[in-house]
């Protein structure tokens, strides 16, 4: 399955082709985007890493004077100097290790925060087409897991290049100076170790990406289940979902175990090779000491350097394996960041100038992706300051009209004009700033009641928020809440009833004070009493505004100034309630009869 935006799961061959690139291009991109902002911190971290490397590399040089001078030649006057040097070395190592750890953690945490902000800003620029192709739970899980890859790449690279590599070079230099022949024996493990790491790395690339995909599906499924727990309980889906979750958990566990098996293969290989090298060094040095009778100080110094070199060599052997895992995460983050928004403002885009707020659909045709057309040459006018109702069966195209008016998608044919201005050539921000929208399914965000109403207009005063709540008939239940307007609403308003959520959504639209009002069956979630009261509030705020109402129940639109009847994406009838009821064979009259409404040819002028 391949998504249109490039984030969907690729087939195995495509994934492998994508992963065959080198670490260097991704690392260069990360450094180009971030390194300049951390120059001072990186310099400090490099200084600390070099201090650690220098202090550690100094330890082998203590062994010859200690063994030969103190123990062999009995130069006990050297003991204070040697002990002081050892204490100083370990003090420097301790302070420098602490410093580099804190500095790199600071850089890493800031990188995570930076990419989280960057990803969120990018997601806000992407259109609805992207979100219709992605599962929100899986997307969130994928982002949370992958964003750490960028941090780990930089941290491991700096530690490896500046810390482990410099330390290893310094220790290898000490080994060569102390005994070139023993150094040659010890360095024989290099080629087979490099060969083994490259083999493991190629295998790990594929497994790591598969593990990320599985974990994203697992966390996404958990999130979706908790969000829909009421449906789960109502339909007794617990066992069914538990079996599905058990399968995902087992798959994630298997992938994690597979990664462990593949990545940890470096350890036994490096340990075995190191064992052979150290054994060879000990055997040769013992032979050399017995044959020549030279003091053992240089040999002990060499063995000390060899043992100290083992840890950085082992870490360097693993670094490419670990980098491959981080690289998979970083690549998937950039796959997301590289998606281009489809609904961009054009080069000629200008702010929308609304004077009358007349909305005109002129020959609009539209289809989602490659599906059948949803709208076919739709033309109608929503007159300024009046109410236009959209009527039709399910799938007629009513919601699509509202979606296109907000330019969540671009048109295939035709144009939508507001006061004669084609919305394709105005900025999206100015277009949507002039529209207030009340959905059939209201959504509330985490925060207080006041916060959720203020999302309609961030600069609204507390007085304006409370007035909007009063007009939406929400103030009465808000007053009964523990903290009034400062009461948290919970996730998606879980602490509120459906009618209460809808009235807060209406208050949000009221406080926006936009000249164009879109109502998607805004009273559908209310009981009869609340519906009557909110409908009265809507009649007040609809005055002098261009209002487009999506209606599933005809009783809500009989007073509309203009009614547009849609069937299969086409406009089949237009007129007032009274004029449309004159034709009993018409689509509007048929809808009326199907809903059991009394046949009436009277209508008013205000919704």
CA distance 288 to 299: 9
The pLDDT value recorded for residue 604 is: 42
The pLDDT mean for the chain works out to 78
Which carries the bigger pLDDT value, residue 228 or residue 122? 122
| Choice among 244-248, 301-305, 481-485 with the minimum mean pLDDT | 301-305
Domain boundary among 281, 315, 337: 337
Mean pLDDT of 564-593: 86
**Percent of the chain clearing pLDDT 70 (strictly above):** 80
| Choice among 8-22, 139-153, 498-512, 583-597 with the minimum mean pLDDT | 8-22
The pLDDT value recorded for residue 592 is: 77
Which carries the bigger pLDDT value, residue 197 or residue 424? 424
How many domains does one find in the chain? 2
Distance of CA 210 to the CA centre of its chain: 18
Q: Is the pLDDT of residue 236 over 70?
A: yes
Model-wide pTM > 0.75 = no
Mean pLDDT of 350-360: 92
Residue 509: inside a domain, yes or no?
A: no
Whether residue 377 sits in one domain with residue 245: no
Whether residue 377 sits in one domain with residue 231: no
* Closest by Cα among 142, 127, 301 to 215: 142
Contact between 48 and 99 (Cβ < 8 Å): yes
Please name the helix (run of DSSP H) or strand (run of DSSP E) that holds residue 364, with its range, or none: strand 359-366
Whether residue 153 sits in one domain with residue 62: yes
Residue 151 token pair: 């941090």
Residue 497: inside a domain, yes or no?
A: no
The pLDDT value recorded for residue 554 is: 66
Residue 483: inside a domain, yes or no?
A: no
Contact between 365 and 249 (Cβ < 8 Å): no
Domain boundary among 312, 337, 362: 337
CA distance 342 to 291: 79
The pLDDT value recorded for residue 516 is: 93
The pLDDT value recorded for residue 6 is: 40
Residue 514: inside a domain, yes or no?
A: no
Task: Name, of 14-28, 272-286, 319-333, 369-383, the range with top average pLDDT.
Answer: 369-383
- pLDDT tier, 410 (very low <50, low <70, confident <90, very high otherwise): confident
Whether residue 377 sits in one domain with residue 237: no
Whether residue 395 sits in one domain with residue 301: no
Q: What is the CATH number of the domain that holds 124?
A: 1.20.1560.10
DSSP 38: G
Whether residue 283 sits in one domain with residue 416: no
Burial 382-418 (b: 16+ CB within 10 A, else e): bebbbbbbbbbeeebbbbbbbbbbbbbbebeebebbb
Residue 546 token pair: 């261009």
Which carries the bigger pLDDT value, residue 266 or residue 52? 52
Whether residue 242 sits in one domain with residue 189: yes
**Percent of the chain clearing pLDDT 90 (strictly above):** 14
Classified as helix, coil or strand, 414 is: strand
Query: What phi and psi, each to the nearest 5 degrees, are found at residue 245?
Result: -65, -35
Mean pLDDT of 441-463: 87
28-72 per-position pLDDT tens digit: 888 888 878 888 888 898 888 888 888 888 888 877 777 776 666
CA distance 213 to 205: 13
Which carries the bigger pLDDT value, residue 428 or residue 192? 428
Residue entry with tokens 């497994």: 207
The pLDDT value recorded for residue 202 is: 66
Contact between 201 and 265 (Cβ < 8 Å): no
Q: What is the CATH number of the domain that holds 412?
A: 3.40.50.300
Residue 117 token pair: 């902000």
Q: Is the pLDDT of residue 415 over 90?
A: yes
| Residue range of the domain that includes 422 | 348-428+556-607
DSSP 160: I
Domain boundary among 304, 337, 370: 337
463-515 per-position pLDDT tens digit: 999 998 988 888 888 988 889 999 888 776 777 877 788 888 888 888 888 99
Contact between 519 and 439 (Cβ < 8 Å): no
CA distance 312 to 310: 6
Whether residue 226 sits in one domain with residue 354: no
* Closest by Cα among 363, 393, 390, 297 to 61: 297
Mean pLDDT of 240-249: 82
6-26 per-position pLDDT tens digit: 433 333 333 333 334 456 777
Residue 528: inside a domain, yes or no?
A: no
- Burial (CB count <10 Å: 0-12, 13-18, 19+), residue 377: middle
Residue 12: inside a domain, yes or no?
A: no
Sheet containing 413-418: give its strands across.
375-382, 359-366, 413-418, 421-422
Whether residue 174 sits in one domain with residue 92: yes
| Choice among 12-26, 136-150, 554-568 with the minimum mean pLDDT | 12-26
Task: Name, of 234-238, 436-440, 465-469, the range with top average pLDDT.
Answer: 465-469
Mean pLDDT of 275-304: 71
Mean pLDDT of 89-112: 88
Whether residue 352 sits in one domain with residue 208: no
Residue 109: inside a domain, yes or no?
A: yes
Residue 229 token pair: 């727990």
Contact between 452 and 495 (Cβ < 8 Å): no
Whether residue 312 sits in one domain with residue 268: yes
Mean pLDDT of 91-109: 88
Whether residue 303 sits in one domain with residue 252: yes
Residue 379: inside a domain, yes or no?
A: yes
């Amino acid at each position: 399955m391949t998504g249109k935006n490039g984030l969907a799961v690729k087939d195995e061959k495509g994934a492998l082709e994508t992963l065959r690139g080198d670490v260097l291009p991704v690392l260069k991109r990360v450094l180009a985007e971030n390194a300049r902002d951390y120059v001072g911190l990186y310099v400090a971290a490099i200084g600390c890493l070099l201090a650690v490397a220098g202090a550690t590399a100094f330890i082998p040089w203590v062994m010859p004077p200690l063994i030969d001078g103190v123990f062999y030649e009995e130069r006990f006057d050297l003991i204070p100097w040697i002990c002081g040097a050892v204490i100083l070395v370990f003090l420097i190592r301790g302070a420098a290790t602490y410093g580099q750890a804190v500095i790199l953690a600071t850089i890493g945490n800031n990188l995570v925060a930076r990419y989280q902000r960057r990803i969120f800003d990018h997601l806000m620029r992407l259109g609805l087409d992207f979100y219709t192709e992605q599962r929100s739970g899986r997307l969130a899980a994928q982002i949370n897991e992958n964003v750490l890859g960028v941090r780990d790449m930089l941290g491991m690279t700096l530690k490896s290049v500046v810390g482990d590599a410099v330390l290893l070079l310094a220790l290898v230099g000490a080994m060569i100076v102390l005994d070139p022949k023993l150094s040659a024996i010890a360095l024989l493990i290099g080629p087979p170790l490099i060969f083994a790491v490259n083999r493991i790395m190629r295998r790990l690339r594929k497994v790591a990406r598969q593990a990320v995909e599985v974990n994203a599906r697992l966390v996404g499924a958990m999130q979706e289940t908790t969000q829909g727990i009421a449906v789960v309980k109502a339909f007794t889906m617990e066992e069914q979902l538990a079996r599905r979750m058990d399968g995902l958990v087992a798959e994630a566990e298997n992938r994690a175990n597979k990664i462990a098996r593949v990545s940890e293969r470096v350890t036994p290989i490096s340990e075995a090779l190191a064992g052979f090298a150290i054994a060879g060094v000990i055997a040769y040095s013992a032979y050399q000491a017995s044959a020549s009778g030279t003091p053992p100080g240089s040999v002990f110094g060499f063995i000390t350097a060899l043992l100290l070199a083992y840890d950085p060599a082992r870490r360097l052997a693993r670094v490419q394996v670990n980098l491959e895992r981080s690289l998979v995460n970083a690549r998937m983050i950039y796959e997301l960041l590289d998606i281009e928004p489809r609904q961009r403002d054009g080069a000629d885009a200008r702010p929308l100038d609304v004077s009358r707020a007349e909305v005109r659909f002129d020959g609009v045709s539209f289809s989602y992706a490659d599906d059948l057309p949803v709208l076919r040459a739709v033309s109608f006018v929503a007159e300024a300051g009046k109410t236009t109702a959209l009527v039709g069966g399910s799938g007629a195209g009513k919601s699509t009209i509202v979606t296109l008016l907000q330019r969540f998608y671009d048109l295939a044919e035709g144009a939508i004009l507001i006061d004669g201005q084609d919305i394709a050539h105005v900025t999206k921000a100015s277009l949507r700033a002039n529209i207030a929208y009340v959905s059939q399914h209201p959504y509330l965000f985490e925060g207080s009641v006041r916060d959720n109403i203020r999302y309609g207009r961030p600069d609204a005063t507390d007085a304006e928020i409370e007035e909007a709540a009063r007009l939406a008939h929400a103030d009465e239940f808000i007053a009964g809440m523990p903290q009034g307007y400062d009461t948290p609403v919970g996730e998606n308003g879980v602490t509120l009833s459906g009618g209460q959520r809808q009235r807060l959504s209406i208050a949000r639209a009221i406080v926006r004070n936009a000249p164009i009002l879109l109502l998607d069956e805004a009273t559908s979630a209310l009981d009869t009493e609340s519906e009557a009261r909110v409908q009265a509030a809507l009649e007040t705020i609809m005055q002098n505004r261009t209002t487009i109402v999506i209606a599933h129940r005809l009783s809500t639109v009989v007073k509309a100034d203009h009614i547009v009847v849609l069937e299969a994406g086409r406009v089949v009838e237009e007129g007032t309630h009274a004029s449309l009821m004159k034709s009993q064979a018409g689509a509007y009259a048929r809808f009326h009869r199907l809903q059991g409404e009394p046949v009436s040819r009277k209508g008013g002028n205000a919704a």
